[in-house]
Chain A
Amino acid sequence: MSDVSISLKQWLLSDAPASPRQAFLGNVFRATRTVVKNPSALAGLVIVLLLIVIAIVAPFLDRGISPIAQDLSNRLHVPDAAHWFGTDELGRDIYSRTLYGARVTLTIVALVSVVVAPIGLAVGTMAGYLGGWVDALLMRITDIFLAFPRLVLALAFAAALGPGIENAVIAISLTAWPAYARIARAETVTIARSDFISAVIMQGASTTRILIKHVVPLCLSSVIVRLTLDMAGIILTAAGLGFLGLGAQPPTPEWGAMVSAGREVILDQWWVATIPGIAIFIVSLGFNLLGDGLRDVFDPKSV
């Protein structure tokens, strides 16, 4: 058994990987090892993994209480054995709603990442690789978007498109992508000058192929690190939109909207607003810790 694990480790850490997959897995292994060694990054990783696990297995943890089941005779109930986190103004179980809220938060985070990273990568790598007027034009547009106030613009967008998770995601993405374009461009400018790119050009590769097969993979790690660091901000903006009533619509259990529901009763029934707020806090703390750790791994300069 231990022989197997030792040889697996050797295979992963091999200086001469035999396949791209081995090299990739080896890098993942090395990065994971560095992150795990750093206590605060490890704490962040645990929180983020816990969030994902809770989101997946929420139906098994909810103690048989639906997050949207109303029980008006039991409204604003104090936390006790029956309702661990109490109940809200419609008698819904806050414990169960907080669990399912992880799904909403994770959905928003995943959707924003899926929209923002490809746009940022496409704009950044094209600007950096093609240079000239393409670069000037794309970066000017990026700068314009970068100078926009995120929350207020997201607010205006959500107001025009109507409230809802999808529109909140569009609104956040619209103001979040420029940072990735900048990072991807900075990386691309150095990559474009390397010998291996000249080699691929001489072999007759098209620009599209070079960008997708050779430049983008090398930009990915910085983009992922930045994405992790930004996650907390994205979660807070999404929660802010939810708090204002522009995110997920009732009865969807969204943490920001749940805090908002507790606003009226904060002086008497503190738990209604406090508990979902703590959930938001812990999750953004987790992403912040993990992001700091990842940055230390991938970018030793900034430490």
Chain B
Amino acid sequence: MWMVRPAKPDDLKSILALAGGMGPRLSSTLPRKDEALAARIEQSVRAFQGTTDAGESPRFLFVLEDTDTGAVRGVAGIDSRAGHGQPFYNYRKDALIHASHELGVSRRVEVLYPSHALTDHTLLCTFTIDPALQGTDAFELLSRARMMFIASHRHLFTDHTVVEIQGVQTESGEVPFWDSLGRHFFDMDFETADQHSGALSKTFIAELMPSNPIYVTLLSQDAQTALGQAHEKTRPTYELLQREGFRAGDYVDIFDAGPVLEARTDSLKTIVSSLTGTLHGSTSEEGEQCLVCGGTQMQFRCTLAPIAETLKGEVKVPVRTWHCLGLDAGDPVQVSPC
């Protein structure tokens, strides 16, 4: 069975292995170094335990575990406040109308404004999964488990939720948007900048970007084409998030111009359709396939199970699901249909 649970210090090696399998990704918030990742996991543990330091905002990290083997096959996170205390940078796509009364012409001029308007919105981040699981139930479980967590801990999160989607990158690792813009100000390729970003912070790098707006028309043709476009391999993620109710807005990533998807937290499909009930066992494997989650703090679990519901608000799940969730009969659970 597939199960999503909070990341633990023991998961360090597995998560590093997953992260290492991905290409350079400047916008990823997943550290690649032992100490940085260990610190990040510690931070997540504190967040789940509700002992986040004053002045810090909770950052949650979940892993996807195969309960049969105990192997960790994916990782995903929620930052309750994007930027977590630092500015969260994006470019906002905007337009100026350059019109001349004298010449009778009117022209739309596309401009990218550096913005940190999305700072402090809830951010879904760090989604990384074993490529073999792309598009499977496990994939959907890992992504949506976060929405289940938000639904059951709504007070920890803001009214708007955003997700950054990786932008266009060629097979040889070149990022057209970076090459046309960011590169000039760093004199380094995307991969090198990515390493710095991992070692320091994305904000650190973003603050070295030019502070003035950028005219889109002066970008290379490839960079203009890449503007707001998602990387081909993110398509399953993109589509899943669209089904959830996320939409690409006016914001793009400052390095690769990938789209930032936005949604009102309370309008997300998983959150709208989720309901609470009490857990009961069932011998039957019949029922509608649903996401089900329960447990508090580090015992939070989310899994997929066929569920039968009674009129009394009882949620009947097969025994093995019950075991997987680590709950007892009568405990409250949250359910959302697939």
Tell whether A pairs with B: no
